[in-house]
Structure 1
Amino acid sequence: MTVSYTGVVTVTGEGRNGGHVSTGDGHLVTRLAIPKELGGAGDATNPEQLFAAGWGACFLGAVRRAAAQRKISLTSTTVVVEATLTHGDDGEFGLGTVLNLELGGVDQPTAAELGAAAHRICPYSKATRGNIPVTINATAAA
C-alpha cells in the first residue's frame, strides 16, 4: 500500500476538557471544551464536531468522485453530519452518526445512489463500517 498523505495533529492538556489541538502545518489551531449539554462550558469546539467535519469533507469528496465516475453533473453538494456521543448501559461511551446529504441537479433515486456509493468509497465510512451506527439520508435538492 502506498501512503498518499499523513495528517498530523497534536492534542495537549486535558483533551476534550480544555485541551488544545494543532495541526502540523499550523492551519488548524483551536481549543477544546466539553459541550454545555454535557455540563461543560461549551465555549470551544469538541472532538465530535471535529470528527463530523472531517467525515463530512471526505464524504463530499467521495460523492463528487462517485458522480464523476457515473458522468453525473451535480449543481450543489451539502452534507450535515451529526456525530452523537452515546453512553451505554455498560458505562462505555460510543459514537453514532447521521449524514444528511443534499444534492442538486439530480433526482431522488440518483441522490440515493450517489449517497450509497460515497458511503462505500469514503475512507471515514470504511474506517467506521461495522463499528458504529451510521445513517445516510440522501435527498435531491428542490
Structure 2
Amino acid sequence: MMNRHHFHLKADWNGGRNSEGVISAGNLNTKISIPKEMGGPGVGTNPDEMLIGAAATCYLITLAAMLERKQIPVEKLSLETEGVVSENRGRLQFESVTHRPHVVLGAGVTPEQVKEAEAFTEKAEQSCMISNALRGNVELAVHAEVITAG
C-alpha cells in the first residue's frame, strides 16, 4: 500500500509584477517578491531561494540520515548550496544546483567510515526526493569536503 503525504500552501499577491505577496505552508510563513537581481523589489523570499532551500534541506537531511544509519560519528555537518538561473532571450531557466557539504567526522573514525561518508555525499544527492524531482531539468552537482576532527 502506498502512503501519500499532502502538503498545502496558501498565497496572496497584491498587484502586478513588482508587488509583493505572502505565503503560508505549515511552519513556513513569509513575504514573497521577485528578487532585486531580477529587477524586483527583493522583499521576503522568492521562488529561486525557495527552490535551492528545498534542494539543500532535502540533501542535508538525507545525508545526515545516511550517516546516522551507518553509525558514522559526525562532529559537524554544514552545507552551502548555489543555484544558477540563466536568462536567454527574456526566458528565465533554473540552470544548476550545486551542493558543497562540509562534513567533520568524529575522532576515532576508521578509514572505511571516511570512504563511506565520502560516498554518501554523492549518494544523498541521488536519493533526495527534491533532487530527483529536478533531475533531467536542472544540472545537479556535489563538491564535498569530508575531514576528520583534530
TM-score range, shorter chain: 0.7 to 0.9
- Correspondence list, 1:1-142, <5 A: 2-13=2-13, 17-23=19-25, 25=26, 27-89=27-89, 91-95=90-94, 96-105=96-105, 109-141=115-147
What's the TM-score once normalised by structure 2's chain length? 0.78
In the alignment of these two chains, the number of paired residues is 139
Deviations 1:91-130 (A, max 9, x none): 4322121111111117875553121110121101111112
Q: How far apart, in 2, do the equivalents of 1:71 and 1:15 lie?
A: 49
Q: Which runs of 4+ in 1 moved over 6 A?
A: none
Q: CA deviation at 1:45?
A: 0.9
Structure 1 stretches lacking a partner, 5+ long = none
Q: Which amino acid aligns with 2:31?
A: R
CA RMSD of aligned residues (A): 2.5
Q: CA deviation at 1:17?
A: 4.7
SS in 1 for 2:144: strand
User: Residue 79 of structure 1 contacts residue 102 of structure 1 at CA under 8 Å; is this kept in 2?
Assistant: yes
SS in 2 for 1:60: helix
Identical positions, percent? 22
SS in 2 for 1:100: strand
Structure 2 stretches lacking a partner, 5+ long = none
Q: CA deviation at 1:16?
A: 8.2
Q: Which has the larger radius of gyration?
A: 2
Structure-2 change in CA distance of 1:98 and 1:17 (3 Å): farther
Q: How far apart, in 1, do the equivalents of 2:28 and 2:37 lie?
A: 25
